[in-house]
Amino acid sequence: MIPSMMPSDPIYTEVQPYRELPPFTLLTVVGALFGWFLIIWVGLMSRPLGALQMPNWLAWVIGLCFGVIVPIAYTRMKMVTVVYPDRLLINNGVSGRNVFLFDDIVEVELRNDNINEDYNVRNIGSVSATHIAYTVLSTNGVQLVLVDGRHYLIGSKEPQALADAIRSVWRKGVQARLPEEFETS
């Protein structure tokens, strides 16, 4: 393995479980109850679901998906933010991973104000938008501006700690890229 490609120890890690979202919890409970209702009512008791005659195998498939798979996903889904010496990693649990190299970041700003007016708040990010917030529950976080002009807000329960961790390694990279006459002492 190339030395620069070897994983390094993280500087900062934050885990935000999706089970902290009240709507997600409600949908999971309702879906699980519906799934187990289908398994018992249609699958085991062979009763119709109103006017709908459903085959037992279909009731079992739908019931197991809603009654077992959805609650397992509920307990396992989380957003993980990890700051490494050379990059910031966001594992969103829903839409996958996003890696921000510190060489591509031109500005790091702590945001403690309401971001709802500035950002397309969503848990599932999109590459085509210019203002994207990756967050679970918080409307506070760290705003990153990339060299191509895109803005990202990384939501955090402890935005100051995340900002400090990012700035501690980002500033080192910025200073390393400055010409000698502009270096700070």
Span 74-128, pLDDT tens digits: 888 899 999 999 999 999 877 678 899 999 999 999 988 776 667 655 544 445 5
Domain count across the chain: 2
Span 36-77, pLDDT tens digits: 999 998 888 888 887 778 888 898 999 999 999 989 888 888
49 and 85 part of one domain: no
Residues paired with 100 in a beta bridge: 88
Say if CB 111 and CB 141 are below 8 A apart.
Answer: yes
Within a domain: residue 4? no
Span 145-173, pLDDT tens digits: 999 888 888 989 999 999 999 999 887 65
Give the whole-number percent of the chain exceeding pLDDT 70: 79
101 and 37 part of one domain: no
Within a domain: residue 99? yes
What pTM value is reported for the model?
Answer: 0.72
110 and 49 part of one domain: no
Span 2-23, pLDDT tens digits: 444 456 789 999 999 988 888 8
Domain that holds residue 177: 79-182
Within a domain: residue 40? yes
Within a domain: residue 3? no
136 and 47 part of one domain: no
Within a domain: residue 2? no
71 and 86 part of one domain: no
Within a domain: residue 1? no
